[in-house]
Amino acid sequence: MFQGIEHTAISSPDPQKLAQWYVDHLEFRINYTYSGNYFVRAENGSMLEIIPADRPLAVPQTTANNKDGGIRHLAIANDDFDAAYASLQAKGVRFVGEPFEAQGNRLVFFNDLDGNLLHLIQRAHPLP
């Protein structure tokens, strides 16, 4: 009956601009639009819906140690950490700290155009 999370929604004062950021920086594609909403889809099929917001994110997420309620970060999978990191650097992405390893996984945190916290991760082994 239940199949999983179909998409996650993020609100933005400029949904079109944020959708294009995901296209330009993370190789997503705009999959569907309606009434100012944009669905962007990653290569693996995961989707974000970017919806209009009345105002920007109150405080950009600048720490990976955030323990407040709500969504902490979106994890972005990749198959070549060094190339993905270099690509984001070349595009002027704002990183939150330096890359590091945890349990054999390579990761780094960064912000999207609106200040939402993202997490680039290359896993040593897939999760069970």
Above pLDDT 70, what percent of the chain?
90
Predicted pLDDT of residue 63: 64
What fold characterizes domain 57-128?
2,3-Dihydroxybiphenyl 1,2-Dioxygenase; domain 1 (3.10.180)
Question: How many angstroms separate the first and last alpha carbons of the chain?
Answer: 21
Per-residue pLDDT reduced to its tens digit, 1-30: 888 889 999 999 999 999 999 999 999 999
Is residue 31 predicted with pLDDT exceeding 90?
yes
**Amino acid present at 39:** F
The length of the chain in residues reads 128
Name which CATH class applies to 1-54. alpha beta
How large is the C-alpha radius of gyration of the chain? 15
Q: CA–CA separation, 57 vs 12, rounded Å?
A: 8
Q: Which 8-state DSSP code applies to residue 28?
A: -
Domain boundaries, the chain: 1-54, 57-128
pTM across the whole model = 0.89
Whether 1-54 shares its CATH topology with 57-128 is answered: yes
With contact defined as beta carbons under 8 Å apart, do 38 and 16 qualify? yes
